[in-house]
Amino acid sequence: MKKVFRKKSLLALLILAALLALLAGGGGREEAAVPQAEEEEAAPWAVMPENPAPMTGETISVYNWGDYIDSDVIDIFEAETGIRVIYETFETNEDMYAKIALGGSSYDVIVPSDYMVERMIQEKLLQPINWNNVPNVKNIDPRFTHESYDPDFAYAVPYTWGTMGILYNTQTVLERPTSWDILLDEEYRMDMFMLNSPRDTLAIALVMCGHDLNSVDPADLADAKALLIEQKPLVLAYVVDEVKDKMIAGEASLALVWSGDATYCMSESDELDYVVPEEGSNIFYDALCIPANARNVSGAEKFIDFLCRADIAAMNYEYVGYAIPNQAAIELMGEQAYNASPVNNPPQETLDKCQVFKYLGDETRLYDTIWTEIISEF
């Protein structure tokens, strides 16, 4: 996967080079001509240290979403600290939770979303973070801290945020969709992907039925279930990370996706666009947390602090593509360039219609049962 914003970075570099050339040569001399654009990308925000630290034998174990970090970031961390990162990925909050709650595995850093942070705090599966050891947390915009899922800002460092919406192919979906209803349009039979993620997909079905996306009313959920079963003949597949390559390859016209994945797809294909339908959607926050049973807490703190560093967060943003709460990184990249993305910087009226998932306590089981029934129904 290449850097999401490579094209933009290259453009910025060219403009800078042109300005420098003008300043240096007054425009007259041959050798001050604008340098040719290199094939490769602009200089990254952060670079590998020239003399990597020797490996210390210390390790940290990180459990993150798929496609959710630039591997260069991990390499630089290892080279700067001598701490080796053992890295594993998951596709949904529920998969990650099941693994941690079963207790068999121990991770030092995990990346749950809002409602899952809330659940894991309640279930004592996370430990409070010692901010003295994470000084770069000062780079996080305070508008993203003290959220409802971690009101005391004690357990979770906001990493990314985004919306859920529809990624669509402008060659086959000729009018920009405004409503989620397009996900029930017979014209797109076997021509759409849905998220293989119970909370996300059920939330959209709830919204399509006119219900609250945090509803636990069995009648509302029965409506959502009926809608998703009715929709099944239109669905080519329920997928998570694979949706990106499939949409770029033009395998379907529509997909329910997270905004950062849309950003990536749109950087790879001019035929794709993203919309948050007018009925509203989910806004999510994914956060760096230390599990209660972490083995290397000090290593975890170092890694989280490293990810909060402005140059590292900027570099990581350009790879991952999801909106970030790191104000220092945004300033480094240029606020204007960062805000230019309508996908990552939606208008306020869109945000006003988006809601955060709440942890639903025991009712979560109802979601899980319904989801299994939907997926296994033919």
CA distance 160 to 70: 14
- In the block, tokens 């005391």 appear at 152
Q: What number of residues does the chain have?
A: 378
Nearer to ligand N2P, 112 or 280 (CB): 112
| Rounded-to-integer distance, Cα 64 and Cα 55, Å | 23
Smallest distance, ligand N2P to C-beta of residue 164, A: 8
Interface pattern 11-50 for ligand N2P (x via CB under 6 A) = ----------------------------------------
- Minimum CB–partner distance for residue 295 and ligand N2P (Å): 25
Looking at residues 263 to 302 of the shown chain, list those that interact with ligand N2P (rule: CB under 6 A). 284, 286
DSSP codes joined into one string, 89-153: EESSHHHHHHHHHH-S---SEE--BHHHHHHHHHTT-B----GGG-GGGGGB-GGGSS-TTSTTS
Phi, psi of 87 (to 5 degrees): -120, 125
Residue 218 interacts with ligand N2P (CB under 6 A)? no
CB of 68 to ligand N2P, least distance (A): 5
- Residue 191 interacts with ligand N2P (CB under 6 A): yes or no: no
| 8-state DSSP, 378 | -
Nearer to ligand N2P, 173 or 272 (CB): 272
Which of 63, 159, 168, 258 is close enough to bind ligand N2P by CB under 6 A?
Answer: 258
In the bound state, the residue with its beta carbon closest to ligand N2P is 65
- Distances, alpha carbon 88 to alpha carbons 2, 148, 149, 353, 361, in Å: 20, 28, 25, 34, 27
Q: Does 94 bind ligand N2P (CB under 6 A)?
A: no
Give the whole-angstrom CA distance, residue 341 versus residue 208.
Answer: 27
Note whether 67 binds ligand N2P by CB under 6 A.
Answer: yes
Q: Could you list the residues that contact ligand N2P (CB under 6 A)?
A: 65-68, 113, 241, 258, 284, 286
